[in-house]
Homo-oligomer: A and B are copies of this chain.
């Protein structure tokens, strides 16, 4: 390729984003999908009887350090919390165990009290299924904030970090 063509590549890449980039980018009030979330560390767990699911609550480094230091009210700016949700099923090999079935969704909260002042200091986003279809009904973040207002006195976060040695 001739050298003078090289500067055009980034422009071209911008004009034709991959499908993944499109659906993971921020849109309206939705945050961008945090790329490294599968490598976040565990902060809590939950099993929900209302929709028969198991959930892992993970945090990025900022969130995990805050959790371990007990500094979660408020959580520091830069903290990201991820909730991975699986449908549950009974273990075939050990019937007393309830274990993950199909992957359902992943939801996020990103703390930035200035940037997200309009939505309780957190940016919100949810991606559904293995295809990670963004949940982007207009005004969806109001739903998130409304339900999380139950735990307004815990900086809008339900999960208390699991006790550890």
Contact = CB atoms under 8 A, between A and B. Distances in A.
Interface stretch (A41-49, A69-77, A118-126): A41-49
B158 A100 contact: no
Contact of A41 (B39, B88, B99, B132): B39
Interface string A143-165: 00000001100000011101111
**Number of identical monomers bound together in the oligomeric complex:** 2
A47 B98 contact: yes
Contact of A97 (B48, B94, B98, B132): B48
A41 B38 contact: yes
A50 to B, nearest CB: 4
Interface string A24-61: 00000000000000111110111111100011101000
